Structure 1
Amino acid sequence: MTSLDKPTEDAQDAQDDARAVTEAALFEAFGGVRGMVETVVPGLLFVTIFTINKDLHWSAIAALAVSLLLVVVRLVRRDTVKHAFSGVFGVAFGVVFAMMTGNAKDFYLPGMLYTLGLAVAYIVTTLAGVPLIGLMLGPVFKENLSWRTRNPGRKKAYAKASWAWGLILLAKCAVLFPLYWWGDTTQFGWVLIALKIPPFLLAVWLTWVFLAKAPPPIDVFAEMEAEEQAEKERKATLAKERGDAPAPARHRREA
């Protein structure tokens, strides 16, 4: 290896590390494979039971029960429960809506409205200069909001990712809402389940692509720790200097 090769290899290693960190952060933020499974299973169980017996009550009870079971499993294993809890709340709202109206399609309505609201939030926050994906991932990358003013390349990547999320979710809504109004309940349920994972994976993949090519995050937590350490060292140096300083003249005469 020549001296010219080493900087190139170091840069490649740094880029690989950045991609690995980005991938890990995305898995943490969005729940990974297990989070996706926990998102799909309750709705899948609901539509399966309803397809078999057309019984709204049993379908709703089964979906809510499996959501609670997933939370219990996470609690027993002392895992992060935020994704499982969000799933329980989503299923619970769906059950309430469906029971109130007697329409099985209303089980999916809260989740659809949430998806639509989230799509709008991604687009509006990006237009406002504070892309939502950056607000979500900033703490995960330990950069908080430093990307807004100190890291323009990273802000641009967050903006692209937020546009991707917003447009993908809007496209999903454009398919689901017409089916909700005019489609068959069973067919609508299966289409919704089929559209759970692929759009999500596409958005996550695009986010990974944009961030992997962006400048590395600024670790503001490390900066704060370094500043605190420097301040401690400065105070220790001042205290030592005061201790080593000669006594005032008055004190020397009294001695």
Structure 2
Amino acid sequence: MTSLDKPTQNAPDAPQDAKAVTEAALFEAFGGVRGTVETVLPGLLFVTIYTINKNLNLSAIAALGVALLLVAVRLVMRDTVKHAFSGVFGVAFGVAFAMMTGEARDFYLPGMLYTLGLALAYIITAIAGVPLIGLILGPVFKENLSWRTRNPGRKKAYTKASWAWGLILLAKCAILFPLYWWADVTQLGWVLVALKIPPFLLAVWLTWVFLAKAPPPIDVFAEMEAEEAAAEERKREAARRQAPGE
């Protein structure tokens, strides 16, 4: 049993430590404040410019330009680019759709379809017993898939969190898709921007609540290192026993 396998209630500071570890992991997994800004800024720039002058080409080019700039800044700073790159791909698909159809509202369609697909993925994987949020956060917590068979409390927490993400994203889609068909483009854009952060923060907060109350993760990497060290020690011990004069 590793230190992370042991119950936390024996140590007075363990619950606080578990919460701090969970906060740090969620911050890393979802990009924190900077990642959120990188997700929101291109869409905000698009709807702002389009609201002012109704110029689809200018709005699309500006949104794609700022997304690329955010990636360039991360590359210069030698920082992780996964969140910025995901923003670039999302904006690029939106620009491509809008340019092909000539409809400004189609800038938002790829992102909306992605949100719907992600919502269904969270719910389906939760029903199947392999909650998506566990697949995402398992490597971050260094537990990989150990929660599936060795840590039922964490599996339950991941299942609850996946349901929370799925239902929150479905509720977001229930608002956005009617607006896509019937509302003005600028109304759709501003509502979409307004719904970028609050549902995300709610889902992250619920995930933190569920995981903070769950058993600690099993550090499978530490276990593998310990097993390798033990195997090496056994080899050295066997070599000593076989040495002349032993």
TM-score by length of structure 2 reads 0.95
One-letter amino acid of the counterpart of residue 146, structure 1: S
Quote the residue 1:180 is aligned against: 180
Distance (Å, rounded) in 2 between the aligned partners of 1:172 and 1:11: 41
Distance (Å, rounded) in 2 between the aligned partners of 1:200 and 1:12: 32
Using the TM superposition, name which of 237-246 and 218-227 deviates more.
237-246
Quote the residue 2:45 is aligned against: 45
Quote the residue 2:237 is aligned against: 237
Quote the residue 1:15 is aligned against: 15
Say which SS state the counterpart of residue 12 (structure 1) adopts: coil
Aligned residues: 239
Quote the residue 1:162 is aligned against: 162
Say which SS state the counterpart of residue 78 (structure 1) adopts: coil
Cα distance, 1:10 vs. partner? 5.7
Quote the residue 2:61 is aligned against: 61
Distance (Å, rounded) in 2 between the aligned partners of 1:233 and 1:10: 31
Distance (Å, rounded) in 2 between the aligned partners of 1:12 and 1:128: 36
Cα distance, 1:244 vs. partner? 4.5
Cα distance, 1:96 vs. partner? 0.3
Runs of 5+ unmatched residues, structure 1: 1-7, 247-255
2:193 equivalent to 1:193: yes
TM-score by length of structure 1 reads 0.92
Cα distance, 1:245 vs. partner? 5.4
Distance (Å, rounded) in 1 between the aligned partners of 2:149 and 2:111: 34
Quote the residue 1:72 is aligned against: 72
User: Is this contact kept in 1: 2:9–2:15, CA < 8 A?
Assistant: no
Quote the residue 1:86 is aligned against: 86
How many percent of aligned residue pairs carry the same amino acid? 82
Quote the residue 1:122 is aligned against: 122
Quote the residue 1:147 is aligned against: 147
One-letter amino acid of the counterpart of residue 69, structure 1: L
2:214 equivalent to 1:214: yes
Say what the alpha-carbon RMSD is for the aligned residues: 1.2
Say which SS state the counterpart of residue 26 (structure 1) adopts: helix
Distance (Å, rounded) in 2 between the aligned partners of 1:12 and 1:181: 55
One-letter amino acid of the counterpart of residue 16, structure 1: Q
Say which SS state the counterpart of residue 13 (structure 2) adopts: helix
Cα distance, 1:64 vs. partner? 0.2
Higher RCO (CA 8 Å, separation ≥ 6 residues): 2
Pair 127,245 (structure 1): closer, same or farther in 2 beyond 3 Å: farther
One-letter amino acid of the counterpart of residue 180, structure 2: Y
Distance (Å, rounded) in 2 between the aligned partners of 1:193 and 1:136: 25
Distance (Å, rounded) in 1 between the aligned partners of 2:83 and 2:244: 58
Per-residue CA deviations over 1:145-204 (Å, capped at 9, x if unaligned) read 000000000000000000000000000000000000000111110000000000000000
Distance (Å, rounded) in 2 between the aligned partners of 1:137 and 1:184: 38
Distance (Å, rounded) in 2 between the aligned partners of 1:203 and 1:72: 29
